[in-house]
Amino acid sequence: MRIAREYYPQCPEALIISLARDGDRDAFEELVKRRQSSIRNLMRRFCSDSSLADDLSQQVFLKLWTNLKTLKNVDAFGGWLKQIALSIWLQHLRKHDALRDADEYEGSEQVTRDNPGKSMDLNTALSVLAPIVRSCVVLSYQEGMSHEEISNVMKMPLGTVKSHIRRGTEKLRRLLAIYREQEDQQHQTMEKLA
Amino acid sequence: MSEQRDPRLQALFAEANESYADNDFTKQVMLLTRKRKIQWYFAIVIAAAVALVVASQFLQPLQTVALLLTDVLSIELIDLGDSPAAWFLTPINNLATVIVILAKGLRTSWRKVQQVSFAN
């Protein structure tokens, strides 16, 4: 029995994934709708250029469509999709020879409040980090991956991953200091009002 | 370094996440999948056409060579006529057996020569 397309938004994701795996294009479309936010956010953290981020996200879903038949365990879909996204990003870095450059870019500009939105501020701050450092930081903070997991997926020594995350975090703290000041001010104002 | 993350930075990452309900993006992805499907079908058609051309051009000569080889390799070494012994010895009473034995012998000799030269 074929489930009508209108019911797809209410269907559990496991069912949608299974249908898409069997070649149902409508189910795949629903899957793209559901997962586009997480992938596009991830890609926007990886690369500050939003149009490039969207291009890479489209490549992620295209690769997903091509390889979906090989997915055995539907429960592992989330991690699998993340893995595809990371491989597309690393492929992009390799093409642009960015992996060789493990040093951070020069630049100590502090993120200003001229940029509307926290997302844009965060992306601007992340763009100052070297691509490989940025990747480690994003996987840790955005995806909540452990250092060991990052070491495995990035195929880098654990010590290097830890060092990248430490350096990246310190730099981000400096760049995003304005948020700390703002929070402290808000905190002080609240205390005064109380 | 411990796995502990900066809580403020983590909160900022969480707050910075945006929700995208972009239909254009989905449409673009679906268009790309359609294009990929068409490219795949096109590749299959091209491969089938190439295989057909190759088969039509080379199948006849290849068949002739294969038949010739079979005829030559199955030549009897000793003519035993129609006796039961001839039927029983058919698998080894042919040129192919000699070639196989020769190849095995050459290979063994070559290995022995190599072993001797390495030992020296």
Beta carbons of A121 and B16 less than 8 Å apart:
yes
CB contact under 8 A, A169 and B18: no
The answer to whether B1 and A166 have CB atoms below 8 angstroms apart is yes
| Helix, strand, coil fractions of chain A, as percent rounded to 5 | 75, 0, 25
Count of domains for chain B: 2
Q: How near does any CA of chain A get to the CA of B46, in Å?
A: 20
Whether the CB of B29 is below 8 Å from some CB of chain A: the reply is yes
Question: Are B33 and A62 a contacting pair, CB within 8 Å?
Answer: yes
ipTM: 0.74
Let me know if residue B1 belongs to a domain. no
Dmax over CA atoms of chain A, in Å, equals: 65
Are residues B62 and B35 both part of a single domain? yes
Instruction: Using alpha carbons, select from A38, A26, A87 the residue that is nearest to residue A59.
Output: A87
Give pTM, 2 decimals.
Answer: 0.67
**What CATH number does the domain located at A1-96 have?**
1.10.1740.10
Q: What is the span of the domain harbouring residue B45?
A: 20-73
Do B63 and B80 sit in the same domain of this protein?
no
For residues B118 and B103, membership in a common domain is answered with: yes
Q: Report the C-alpha gap between A69 and A106 in whole angstroms.
A: 44
Determine the CATH number of domain A105-189: 1.10.10.10
Per-residue pLDDT of chain A (194 residues; tens, 9 = 90+): 455 778 888 889 999 999 999 989 999 999 999 999 999 999 999 987 889 999 999 999 999 999 999 998 888 999 899 999 999 999 998 887 554 444 444 444 444 444 446 777 888 889 889 989 999 999 999 999 999 999 988 888 999 999 999 999 999 988 888 766 766 676 677 777 76
B97 in any annotated domain: yes
* B9 to A173: CB separation less than 8 angstroms, yes or no: yes
Question: Could you tell me the CA-to-CA distances from B105 to A58, B80, B109 in Å, in that order?
Answer: 60, 26, 6
